[in-house]
Amino acid sequence: MNYAQTIEYLFTTTPSFQQVGADAYKPGLERIREFCHYLGDPQNNYCTIHIAGTNGKGSVSHMLASVLQHAGYRVGLFTSPHLRDFRERMRVDGEMISERGVVDFVANHKAKMRELDLSFFEMTTAMAFDFFAASDVEVAVIETGLGGRLDATNVITPEVSVVTNIGLEHTDLLGDTIEKVAGEKAGIIKPRVPIVLGEASEQYNHVFEGRAAELDSRVIYAQQAFEVVEHHRERDYQHVVLSRQRDAHRFAIDMDLVGEYQCHNVVTAAAAADYLDTHTQITIPRRAFVEGMAEVTKTTSLAGRWQRLSDNPYTVCDTGHNAHGIKYVADELHRLAEHYEQQICIIGFAKEKSIDDILPLLPRKAYYIFTQASSPRALPAAALAATAATYGLEGEVCSTVAQALARAREMATERDMIFIGGSNFVVAEIV
């Protein structure tokens, strides 16, 4: 099989969560453990950092990968989902796995994959572990797919674990309360391996404290370790000054990630990097931290996080897709509203999302173009528009993302801004 045939084989024989949603989810670690053992347990050949959370885990993963690269390490990065190319999920020093690498892995191991009845994500996780080992990486940053406790990535024993934040998402799989979701995320805590908690909350702190105590570990609260003491935003970067709480040492960073919500993520990443530097064999000089944080998108090719697509009119996209993530996006839109005559928002969602929790967060003064991605999981645009109208969100329907973007550009002047988001699928069709 060539690369295109291999990808078709993977998506048809092992349907992905990205394609079909919850039907692709196979909880449990028995299959991935057996497959990794069959591969020679490649995940044990390098240091790892494990990252979970409802939102921000992708950004924090890319931040840490960039910092580690600037510190001189050969770095693997595993994230999901991809936007356009399957190979985006696994990179070494910013470079995606080769098409040949994907083809050879599947050809060499598909019989075992079938024997074990691996899920798409289990197969992908193992491929990344194997790719990193073959590439002689020194440190790998591993992002969970869904939850934590039963996620395929949870076969690693990391140097540090990170949970960015907790929100209600995938309640059919992870639980219908914040405490239950937190319990699933806390499942990545390993014996005597600290966990960095990005956003503390009285709703779930006790869940992490309890699990950490059981495993002789500890919780590092990022907001108690670092604080943003200065911040201002420019169009192409944002200037952030972090203060380390234990010694008041300051780190001035001009980040190439411009969404203000990244201030939460940079604090989380800083706390994790500081722990690595002070308590493990991984050394992260101040220069590497500052430069790595300044060049996250350049170093790692991160896309879809308040990403600027054009200047005339100002056009951005963001992959925030649940209530917790959309809240950050909405805050950004509200903040920018005074700078533009009109905000034109192209939005579409996956049909399993609780849009009744999301739509009230969005600005009513914006003009909306309701659309749907070319995915079987996409919520029909007309249904989205009908529900949005009940929350005072007015606009029109375009049946495809391309048509929606063309319509927005037709309407917009240089004094307007265009936003595209609501779903990874929507963003994938325009980046």
**244-276 pLDDT, tens digit each:** 999 999 999 999 998 888 999 999 999 999 999
- Please write the tens of the pLDDT for every residue from 138-196: 999 999 988 788 899 999 999 999 999 987 565 455 656 888 889 989 999 999 999 99
Q: Are residues 294 and 338 in the same domain?
A: no
- Percent of the chain topping pLDDT 90: 75
Choose from 65-79, 310-324, 349-363 the range with maximum mean pLDDT: 65-79
| Domain boundary, last residue among 300, 332, 366 | 300
The pLDDT of residue 340 is 95
The pLDDT of residue 111 is 95
Q: Are residues 150 and 188 in the same domain?
A: yes
- Looking at residues 70-81, what average pLDDT do you find? 96
Q: Are residues 288 and 313 in the same domain?
A: no
The pLDDT of residue 21 is 47
- Looking at residues 47-51, what average pLDDT do you find? 98
Q: Are residues 252 and 168 in the same domain?
A: yes
Do strands 75-78 and 139-143 pair parallel, antiparallel, or not at all (unpaired)?
parallel
Q: Are residues 21 and 170 in the same domain?
A: yes
The pLDDT of residue 22 is 46
The pLDDT of residue 12 is 84
The pLDDT of residue 178 is 86
- Looking at residues 377-391, what average pLDDT do you find? 95
Q: What is the CATH number of the domain that holds 345?
A: 3.90.190.20
Q: Are residues 289 and 371 in the same domain?
A: no
Q: Are residues 281 and 351 in the same domain?
A: no
Q: Which of the four pLDDT bands, split at 50, 70 and 90, describes residue 26? A: low
Q: Are residues 398 and 273 in the same domain?
A: no
| Domain boundary, last residue among 300, 324, 349 | 300
Q: Are residues 9 and 93 in the same domain?
A: yes
With 90 as the cut, is the pLDDT of residue 303 above it? no
The pLDDT of residue 424 is 87
Choose from 49-53, 54-58, 168-172 the range with maximum mean pLDDT: 49-53
The pLDDT of residue 261 is 84
Residue 427 in contact with residue 420, Cβ under 8 Å? yes
With 90 as the cut, is the pLDDT of residue 55 above it? no
Total number of domains in the chain:
2
- Looking at residues 376-395, what average pLDDT do you find? 94
With 80 as the cut, is the pLDDT of residue 46 above it? yes
From 2-6, 170-174, 233-237, the region with the lowest mean pLDDT = 170-174
- Looking at residues 208-214, what average pLDDT do you find? 96
- Please write the tens of the pLDDT for every residue from 192-205: 999 999 999 999 99
| Domain boundary, last residue among 265, 300, 335 | 300
Q: Are residues 19 and 123 in the same domain?
A: yes
pTM of the model as a whole: 0.91
Q: Are residues 265 and 335 in the same domain?
A: no
Instruction: Show the domain range for 162.
Output: 3-300
Mean pLDDT of the chain: 92
Q: What is the CATH number of the domain that holds 27?
A: 3.40.1190.10
The pLDDT of residue 11 is 86
The pLDDT of residue 402 is 95
Q: Are residues 347 and 291 in the same domain?
A: no
